[in-house]
Copies of this chain bind each other. A is one copy, B any other.
């Protein structure tokens, strides 16, 4: 094992610049402290980094923002389980709300698509069929205080 940065990036299906960006954010090891590999100043990466990058992808998919992901990683090092559990549960609850909202949105949209089908002329009832609300909130992290 001794991946270059571009190989690491490919392994996580992200760009080289994204790997660098994650390094700056503290999500991935940063080579700067010391040259660890062959060539002067050139860093090589290993399994650990590949796993880390995959974790970031999964955590992002679960809706954690990068700062939270950084915290999760540090928690993994310090072993603060209660905090980790708390974060997981908060996100889980938010996730449930988000899924519920998206499903409601899907219903509305499906209805719209049905009602809009048929003729090709005249205004679609887009605004009307969507207007009745029932749906609230955005991508999920925003409050839904209605």
Chain A residues packing against B (C-beta within 8 Å): 13, 51-52, 54-55, 57-63, 72-73, 75-79, 81-82, 84-85, 88-89, 91-92, 95-96, 98-99, 101-106, 108-110, 112-113, 116-117, 119-124, 126-127, 130-131, 133, 135-139, 145-146
Contact = CB atoms under 8 A, between A and B. Distances in A.
Contacts of A120: 81-82
Nearest to A133: B54
Contacts of A101: 61
A62 B109 contact: yes
A58 B121 contact: no
A99 B139 CA distance: 11
Q: Is the interface of A mostly helix, strand, loop or mixed?
A: helix
B88 A113 contact: yes
Given A85-B116, A113-B85, A122 B57 contact: no
A56 to B, nearest CB: 9
Contacts of A89: 113
Contacts of A52: 127
A127 B78 CA distance: 13
Contacts of A131: 51, 54-55, 58
A108 B146 contact: no
B84 A124 contact: yes
A76 to B, nearest CB: 5
Nearest to A95: B106
